[in-house]
Structure 1
Amino acid sequence: MISFRNPKLDPSLFAKDLLFDGVPVRVYQPKAPFAGRRKGMLLFHGGAGMAGSIDFYQDVSNKIAKDADIVLVSVGYGLAPEHPYPSQYKQCLTATVHFLKNAEVYGVDPSQVVICGDSAGGNFCTVVAQKLTERPDLPKLRAQLLVYAGVQAMDFNLPSYVQNTGMPFLSQENTVIFGLWFFGQDLSLKDDLLKGSHVPDDFRMKYGKLASADNIPEKFKGQGYRPVPHGPYKPEVYKQLPELLQVTFSSLFAEDHVIEQLPETFIVSCEYDVLRDDSLLYKKRLEDCGVKVSWFHSEQGFHGVINLSDMGLFTFPAGVEILDRIVDFVRGL
């Protein structure tokens, strides 16, 4: 990935590049002594599964590891197209399982491990947390932290997609384009996905309420939102991209018995982000299933803003505030 900065390791931290069962990671550990074992975090970076890196997220990792006084593992999963789906979430899962099994080696309490991801990394985070409900042999996650995560590919016309369609970094159209690139599909499918023609009628009937704009609080619909009717189902479109609606990509549609087992969750949404409503929908889904949820909504935030939180004159306060809230949540666990 082309970088416009060269973040350096914070002097208060040690860092070491390792492999967790073949997955590249960088382990950040505070130099200061600590009585007992620290909390641990695995960080899954954003970038649509096609960009981003451990190096690019070093300033984010520095901030969280230092200020929360934790051991942080930044996961360098392989990027598409060289590493096709579903290798991204599987590598994140592999690294997480390894860390849970070996937490004490890094001075971490295995009952105090959290996972965190932003954007596509947040998507992988939701899938990893759901997959770990199938592993009673492992310590349970203490929490998951989801920063403007994408959790559904049914409806690209929710209020936030329509209201923020022209925003930089991630527009309504680019969300679909990046998804097609991620899955190695032709861009000719874009218009059908935007219309929702990839969704089978029986799937929409069963799960449509979970992704409905009716679940979005009215105060988020005050920018001239009007419901957009979905297009007719086209089986030929669905057959090219069935993965879009599977729970390993659209984690919103996991069954209740899975959602009910998820750990305490911290959700960050941003006002000027097409994925804002994905966060709101997942928040409601978790709460309806009895999961404890903390939520921070950044009124001035936009997609990718945490990567602009250490830019000198070009630093965006919203990115700093989000990282501070993440730190506060982790310290409070």
Structure 2
Amino acid sequence: MAVLCMLLVLFSAVIVGGFLLLVMAAINFDLSNSDIPPGVTQPVKLRILHIILIITAVVGRILENIGICSRVGFVRYMQGRTGGADPKLLIKDLWFEKVPVRIYQPKVPAASRRRGVMFFHGGGWMFGSFETHEKLCCCIAKESESVVIAVGYRLAPEHKYPAAYEDCLNASIHFMKNAEHYGVDPANVIVCGDSAGGNLAAAVSQTLAGRSDLPRLRAQVLIYPGLQALDFNLPSYQQNQGVPLLHREHAAFYVLQYLNGDAANMEEVLKGSHIPIDIKLKYSKWLSPDNIPEKFKVRGYKPHVLLDCTTEVFEKVKRFCEPSLCPLLAEDSTVQQLPESFILTCEYDVLRDDGLLYKKRLEDNGVQVTWCHLEDGFHGIVNSFNNGWLSFPAGKRGLDNVVNFLKSL
């Protein structure tokens, strides 16, 4: 018995020691590879949140190497532990065609049909689920008194583009045709998403804009959306390349995983040598840094030299030029038909300029835009509005702006 107890103590010591080494390594990696600007409030919290994500990814890699599960699967599992229902809402899981959805309906009776919000979660097209965004969907449904429909679209790299887009589009069409069944006014349906979900919301909105057989969308809500993959050297990508929770390299990695199921051409994408110069010039009127207000360049910006690419590389990424993947590249004739829009951007986010450029495109084409810019915000902050001791006030501010916009419709 004494020997067994000693072995248990030694085993426990090894586990604790290994975990402490892992934590120290994660802290060192964060300090060496991340840069949190002075303008970010509560920077220690952000570092802790980032370190937790690093540890989760490393443990996932270890488990993958010893054959227990995949790294992606482990991260998804751990992220899914953060859900939380709300007793004031009726929540149920359904299928719209072949797409899983989760519906959040206020239990308080409504005097008339409610607005409906199709919600597409973020997570780089690879992560995210009903659970990761449950608190957010609950809050939107309760505070704006809306029916929220979260869409469980297929994830990369198992399901490449256009799987996620098609799922979100098909679920939206199904709901718009059956909105009254859920107590929703068909003329008051909004598409909404954060990060990759914002990309999907913009793409779905563009596709539905030309549909005469469906009610017109009332609005689109884009929360720090990623809207293009042609230029990863815009001012925000340069200024915020090391700011958690989305580094510049990660932004390129995720969109390549969504497109091809791998990140084999990430170096070319980051350098800008993945798109021919003539195509870059074609889209430069919409994607030019000149369209970004000067005040967003004061933290530093070095104009990027145009680089050409090989035919072999372009063949692998040419679908980056499709608006259903990169909505910023849609023609004016499509943009002109888009509904009233809400765009949220964060100062310390690599995707900031995607939102700013799309805001300008919408306004130039006569679309009404409500813009919320979080001066102290970083990517992913809105989903941390109610994260216990790791909550950020700016996230709640951003969410309040989303709710107020919805209530104004």
Same fold (TM over 0.5): yes
Question: Unaligned stretches of 5+ in structure 1?
Answer: none
- Whether the 8 Å CA contact 1:259–1:289 is kept in 2: the answer is yes
| 1:3 to 2:64 alignment | no
| 1:171 to 2:242 alignment | no
**Counterpart Cα distance in 1 of 2:263 and 2:187:** 44
Q: 2:304 aligns with which of 228, 246, 271?
A: 228
**Counterpart Cα distance in 1 of 2:80 and 2:338:** 37
What does residue 132 of structure 1 align with? Answer: 208
Q: CA deviation at 1:114?
A: 0.3
What does residue 253 of structure 1 align with? Answer: 329
**Counterpart Cα distance in 2 of 1:3 and 1:151:** 24
What does residue 256 of structure 2 align with? Answer: 180
- Whether the 8 Å CA contact 2:240–2:348 is kept in 1: the answer is yes
**Counterpart Cα distance in 2 of 1:210 and 1:233:** 21
**Counterpart Cα distance in 1 of 2:81 and 2:105:** 23
Letter in 1 for 2:278: D
Greater mean alpha carbon deviation, residues 289-298 or residues 239-248: 239-248
What does residue 120 of structure 1 align with? Answer: 196
Q: 2:367 aligns with which of 291, 302, 323?
A: 291
Q: 1:161 aligns with which of 203, 217, 237?
A: 237
**Counterpart Cα distance in 1 of 2:169 and 2:400:** 26
**Counterpart Cα distance in 2 of 1:55 and 1:20:** 18
Letter in 2 for 1:207: Y
What does residue 315 of structure 1 align with? Answer: 391
What does residue 266 of structure 2 align with? Answer: 190
What does residue 238 of structure 1 align with? Answer: 314
The ranges of structure 1 where at least 4 consecutive aligned residues each deviate by more than 6 angstroms after the TM superposition are none
Q: CA deviation at 1:241?
A: 1.1
What does residue 113 of structure 2 align with? Answer: 37
Higher helix share: 2
Q: CA deviation at 1:314?
A: 1.4
Report the count of equivalent residues. 333
**Counterpart Cα distance in 2 of 1:184 and 1:258:** 26
Q: CA deviation at 1:191?
A: 1.8
- Whether the 8 Å CA contact 2:237–2:350 is kept in 1: the answer is yes
What does residue 276 of structure 1 align with? Answer: 352
CA RMSD of aligned residues (A): 1.2
Q: CA deviation at 1:189?
A: 1.5
Deviations 1:257-304 (A, max 9, x none): 100000000000000000000000000000111111110000111111
> Could you say if the C-alpha distance between residues 268 and 20 of structure 1 is closer, same or farther in structure 2, counting changes exceeding 3 Å?
same
Q: CA deviation at 1:188?
A: 4.0
What does residue 26 of structure 1 align with? Answer: 102
Greater mean alpha carbon deviation, residues 197-206 or residues 168-177: 197-206
- Whether the 8 Å CA contact 1:195–1:230 is kept in 2: the answer is no
Q: 1:99 aligns with which of 163, 172, 175?
A: 175
Letter in 1 for 2:356: L
SS at match of 1:241: helix
**Counterpart Cα distance in 2 of 1:47 and 1:3:** 10
What does residue 303 of structure 1 align with? Answer: 379
Q: CA deviation at 1:118?
A: 0.7
What does residue 164 of structure 2 align with? Answer: 88
SS at match of 2:148: strand
Letter in 2 for 1:27: I
Q: CA deviation at 1:196?
A: 1.4
Greater mean alpha carbon deviation, residues 271-280 or residues 309-318: 309-318
Deviations 1:106-159 (A, max 9, x none): 000000010101111111111101110231110000000000001111110000
- Whether the 8 Å CA contact 1:123–1:149 is kept in 2: the answer is yes
Q: 2:285 aligns with which of 199, 203, 209?
A: 209
Letter in 1 for 2:250: N
What does residue 263 of structure 1 align with? Answer: 339
Q: CA deviation at 1:179?
A: 1.9
**Counterpart Cα distance in 1 of 2:263 and 2:400:** 38
> Could you say if the C-alpha distance between residues 141 and 232 of structure 1 is closer, same or farther in structure 2, counting changes exceeding 3 Å?
same
**Counterpart Cα distance in 2 of 1:22 and 1:248:** 20
SS at match of 1:183: helix
> Could you say if the C-alpha distance between residues 114 and 187 of structure 1 is closer, same or farther in structure 2, counting changes exceeding 3 Å?
closer
Question: Unaligned stretches of 5+ in structure 2?
Answer: 1-75
- Whether the 8 Å CA contact 1:38–1:69 is kept in 2: the answer is yes
- Whether the 8 Å CA contact 2:229–2:255 is kept in 1: the answer is no
Greater mean alpha carbon deviation, residues 256-265 or residues 177-186: 177-186
**Counterpart Cα distance in 1 of 2:247 and 2:390:** 22
Structure with bigger gyration radius: 2
| 1:75 to 2:147 alignment | no
TM-score (norm 1): 0.97
**Counterpart Cα distance in 2 of 1:111 and 1:279:** 26
SS at match of 2:79: coil
Greater mean alpha carbon deviation, residues 207-216 or residues 196-205: 196-205
Greater mean alpha carbon deviation, residues 165-174 or residues 93-102: 165-174
